[in-house]
C-alpha cells in the first residue's frame, strides 16, 4: 500500500473515535459555524501529525520522555477538560447562531484542541503501538518515506474533521436557543466526565 494512503488511513482511524475533541468540535460547529468546528479539528490534526512524526521518525528519546510525563499530561489535560466543561455548561446561547466566528475565536479554537490532543497520553501511545505493530517504525525507512507517511497522517486526520464539521453543519439550522442551551448542558457534562476520567477518578 502506498505510504501516503497508509498514513491517510492511520490518521482517519485515530481521529474518528468520538472523544472530548469530537464533542467540542460538534458543539462549536453548531454554535459558531462549520469553520469554527473545522479549525478546532485542524488543531487536533496538527497534534496527530506531531505524534505521527515522533513515531514515524523513530524519535525514541522524545517518546520515552512523553511516556514518563504521562501523569502530568493527564493532570493538565484533565483539568483543562473540566474547565472547558464547566465553562460550556454555564454558557448562555445567543439568540441566533453566529454567521462567522471572529478570528480571535478561531485561533482560540485551534490552540485549545491542539493543547488538549497534545496532553492526551493515549494519542502518542496509539501511534507508537500502531506503527510498531504494522512495522512502519522500522529503522530502514528513509526520511522522505517517513515524511510522506506523516503527511498522510495529518491529511487523514484533517479529512475526518472536515467531514465531521460539514455533516454536523447540515443540522445547524434546526438548533434554536432552547436546543442550544441543552447542547451546552450535555456537552459540558460530557467534557467534564472526560476530564474526570483523565484524572483517574473513577
Segment 53-87, tens digit of pLDDT:
887 777 767 777 777 777 787 888 888 888 888 88
CB neighbourhood size of 71 (10 A): 10
Q: Which residue positions in the chain have pLDDT lower than 70?
A: 1, 60, 93-104, 131-141, 176, 201-202
- Cα of 164 vs its chain's centroid, Å: 12
The per-residue pLDDT for 202 is: 45
Say if pTM beats, i.e. exceeds, 0.85: no
List, in order, residues 6 or more apart from 118 with CB less than 8 Å away.
47, 50
| Cβ atoms of residues 96 and 176 within 8 Å | no
The per-residue pLDDT for 134 is: 61
The per-residue pLDDT for 42 is: 95
Amino acid at each position: 500500500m502506498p505510504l501516503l494512503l497508509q498514513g491517510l488511513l492511520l490518521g482517519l482511524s485515530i481521529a474518528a473515535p468520538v472523544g472530548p475533541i469530537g464533542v467540542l468540535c460538534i458543539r462549536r460547529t453548531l454554535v459558531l459555524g462549520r469553520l469554527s468546528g473545522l479549525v478546532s479539528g485542524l488543531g487536533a490534526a496538527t497534534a496527530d501529525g506531531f505524534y505521527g512524526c515522533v513515531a514515524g521518525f523513530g524519535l525514541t528519546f522524545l517518546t520515552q520522555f512523553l511516556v514518563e510525563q504521562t501523569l502530568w499530561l493527564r493532570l493538565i489535560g484533565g483539568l483543562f477538560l473540566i474547565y472547558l466543561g464547566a465553562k460550556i455548561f454555564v454558557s448562555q446561547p445567543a439568540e441566533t447562531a453566529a454567521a462567522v466566528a471572529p478570528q480571535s475565536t478561531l485561533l482560540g479554537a485551534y490552540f485549545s484542541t491542539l493543547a488538549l490532543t497534545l496532553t492526551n497520553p493515549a494519542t502518542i501511545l496509539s501511534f507508537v503501538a500502531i506503527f510498531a505493530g504494522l512495522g512502519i517504525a522500522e529503522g530502514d525507512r528513509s526520511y522522505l518515506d517517513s515524511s510522506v507517511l506523516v503527511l498522510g497522517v495529518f491529511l487523514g486526520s484533517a479529512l475526518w474533521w472536515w467531514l465531521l464539521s460539514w455533516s454536523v453543519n447540515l443540522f445547524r439550522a434546526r438548533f434554536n436557543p432552547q436546543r442550544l442551551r441543552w447542547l451546552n448542558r450535555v456537552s459540558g457534562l460530557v467534557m467534564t466526565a472526560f476530564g474526570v476520567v483523565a484524572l483517574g477518578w473513577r
